[in-house]
Each structure stands twice: as structure tokens, then as C-alpha cells.
């Protein structure tokens, strides 16, 4: 029983990381109506930035995390500006292929800069572990920080969207780009802000992910990125609470199937979940039906 609880808690921890990544996916999808395939690779960039700052340059973890957030935010906005903005109005196929190109670019640029060998990542989180039930269940510091970060991010993001002008503008753009423009909302700026927030979240997710699983390579972000997208679809793409729930559910499923079914098949099980969800409820748990105007 205690082993089940610790698998479950680890699942929630992993799921919280997926949730933070999925938030970025879902926001960008909701507002720019595009699947930003490169989102997962921003995580990797966040991881490497922290790695360089803390391990190579020996600076404090706080500086490392902050730099990761800054670098990823700038990168996210730059990618949007260079690769996606010119394609506004083009077919979704073109945008998707471009996003794949960007993802591939980031991975291979990292491969060239940092080499093919996997780096060992020094955890930047120094929080003591908690033990329950006379040491039967231990919750690591990373897990505590990850779950807490996830909750804080959810609260901050919801407040931002509901209480600020920019947040309201984001809602408006996601509803109807044309109408938002007519209401005097700067659509380009709103989309850029969305990318900035999503990328900053990806940076945080990168640090948390690398701290929990202390390795780092050019493809570190790819799989978690794709799984986070699965989480976003699971929860209903475009929905913020949906991304949160989807992420956590997916993390738990992954960890439990790793423990009780087969570690090799855990990815296959996670992806099967996606296919089953799409079959049963195509709009996800909390998504809404979008109808094309005729």
C-alpha cells in the first residue's frame, strides 16, 4: 500500500510538470489557434540555461531559474515573431509544419552546442523531504516544490486572465480575432504576450523536470512536450483547468503503469489514453465544441 501511495505521489509530481507545460500549449492553442510543436523544446532550453548558469558558471540556483525564464520568454516571443507571425492567415498545415521545423531546429542546435552525451543535472531545489507513517512514505523536496508551483501558477494565471486588461484581451482574441481587432485590441501584441507567458511556464517546467529526473539532453523536452499536449487534449484544449487536470491524471497514469504494468509500455499506454479520449469525448473533459461559420 505504501508503495502504491509513493507511486501515486510521484505521479502527481510528474503530472504537475505536465500540467505546467500543458498550460502553455492550451493557451497558445486557444489564442493563436495553432499547435506549437516547439513548446516542448523550450523546456529543454530552460533546462540547459539553468545547467549552464549553475553547473558551468557556478552561480546560485535562483539566478539559474531566473535566467531560464528570461531566455525562454525571449526565445518564445522571437520564435513567434520570426516563424509563426508571417504565417498568420496561412493554412493550419503550413503552420504546423513550420512549428515542427522550429522544434527540430531547437533540438539540433542544442545537439551541436552541447553535444550528444547526456548531461547530469544538479538539482536546483534544496527543500528537505517529508516523511509520513514512520518513514513508510517519503515525499521528496522536488515533489513538494513541483506541486506547490503548479498550484501557485494556476492561481496566478487565472487571476491574470480574469483581472487584468491583457488577460481579458487574451480571452477576447481566443473568442474572435476579427471582433477583438475591431474592439481596438492589438491582436499581435496579445499573441506575443501569450507566447511569452507560455514560454516562461515552459522554463519553470524545464527546471522542475530536470530537478526531478536529473538528466539533460537535446531531446529532454520532446517527450514531455508531446505528453503535455496529450494532457491538454485530455482536459479539453483551450481550457486552463482542463490542462491542469489532464496533466495530473496523465502523470498518475504514466507512473502507475510504469510500476504495475511495464516500464517499456508506459508511453504506449499514455498515448493510448489520447486515442481513447478522442474516440469517446473528442473535445476533452472541459473543452467546448467549436463550429465553423458557414
Cβ proximity to other proteins: between 79 and 150 the closer is 79
Residue 63 interacting with other proteins (CB under 8 A):
no
Which segment (56-64, 130-138, 174-182, 259-267) binds other proteins by CB under 8 A? 259-267
Pick from 131, 175, 271, 288: which binds other proteins (CB under 8 A)? Answer: 271
Question: Is the separation of the CB atoms in 51 and 69 below 8 Å?
Answer: no
| Exposure b/e, 172-208, CB count within 10 A at least 16 = b | bbbeebeebeeeebebeebbbbbbbbbbbbbbbbbbb
Pick from 56, 165, 279, 289: which binds other proteins (CB under 8 A)? Answer: 279
Copy the grid coordinates of residue 82: 520570426
Compute the least distance from the CB of residue 151 to other proteins, in Å: 27
Cβ proximity to other proteins: between 137 and 274 the closer is 274
Q: What φ, ψ does residue 261 adopt, rounded to 5°? A: -110, -75
The pattern of x and - marking residues 28 through 47 that bind other proteins according to CB under 8 A reads -------x------------
Distinct helix (H) and strand (E) counts, the chain: 11, 4
C-alpha to C-alpha distances, 239 to 221, 260, 261, 288, nearest whole angstrom: 22, 31, 31, 9
How deeply is 77 buried, as exposed, middle or buried, from its count of CB atoms within 10 A (0-12, 13-18, 19+)?
middle
What count of residues does the chain have? 294
Residue 98 interacting with other proteins (CB under 8 A):
yes
Residue 274 interacting with other proteins (CB under 8 A):
yes
**Applying CB under 8 A, which residues contact other proteins?**
35, 83, 86-94, 96-98, 100-102, 104-105, 107-109, 111-112, 222, 226, 229-230, 233, 262, 264-265, 267-268, 271-272, 274-275, 278-279, 282, 292, 294
Amino acid at each position: 500500500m505504501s508503495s502504491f501511495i509513493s507511486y501515486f505521489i510521484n505521479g502527481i509530481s510528474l503530472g504537475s510538470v505536465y500540467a505546467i507545460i500543458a498550460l502553455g500549449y492550451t493557451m497558445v492553442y486557444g489564442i493563436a489557434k495553432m499547435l506549437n510543436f516547439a513548446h516542448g523544446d523550450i523546456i529543454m532550453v530552460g533546462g540547459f540555461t539553468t545547467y549552464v548558469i549553475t553547473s558551468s558558471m557556478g552561480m546560485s540556483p535562483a539566478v539559474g531559474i531566473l535566467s531560464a525564464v528570461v531566455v525562454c520568454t525571449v526565445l518564445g516571443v522571437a520564435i513567434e515573431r520570426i516563424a509563426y507571425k508571417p504565417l498568420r492567415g496561412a493554412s493550419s498545415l503550413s503552420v504546423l509544419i513550420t512549428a515542427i521545423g522550429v522544434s527540430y531546429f531547437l533540438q539540433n542546435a542544442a545537439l551541436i552546442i552541447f553535444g550528444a552525451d547526456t548531461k547530469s543535472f544538479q538539482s536546483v531545489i534544496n527543500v528537505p523531504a517529508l516523511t509520513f507513517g514512520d518513514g513508510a512514505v517519503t515525499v521528496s523536496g522536488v515533489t513538494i516544490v513541483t506541486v506547490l508551483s503548479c498550484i501557485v501558477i494556476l492561481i496566478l494565471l487565472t487571476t491574470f486572465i480574469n483581472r487584468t486588461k491583457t488577460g481579458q484581451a487574451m480571452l477576447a482574441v481566443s473568442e474572435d480575432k476579427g471582433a477583438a481587432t475591431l474592439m481596438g485590441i492589438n491582436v499581435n501584441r496579445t499573441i506575443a504576450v501569450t507566447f511569452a507567458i507560455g514560454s516562461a511556464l515552459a522554463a519553470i517546467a524545464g527546471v522542475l523536470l530536470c530537478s526531478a529526473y536529473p538528466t539533460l539532453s537535446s531531446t529532454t523536452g520532446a517527450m514531455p512536450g508531446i505528453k503535455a499536449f496529450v494532457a491538454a487534449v485530455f482536459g479539453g484544449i483551450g481550457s486552463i483547468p482542463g490542462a491542469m487536470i489532464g496533466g495530473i491524471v496523465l502523470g498518475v497514469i504514466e507512473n502507475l503503469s510504469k510500476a504495475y504494468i511495464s516500464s517499456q509500455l508506459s508511453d504506449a499506454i499514455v498515448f493510448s489514453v489520447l486515442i481513447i479520449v478522442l474516440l469517446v469525448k473528442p473535445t476533452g473533459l472541459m473543452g467546448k465544441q467549436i463550429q465553423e461559420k458557414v
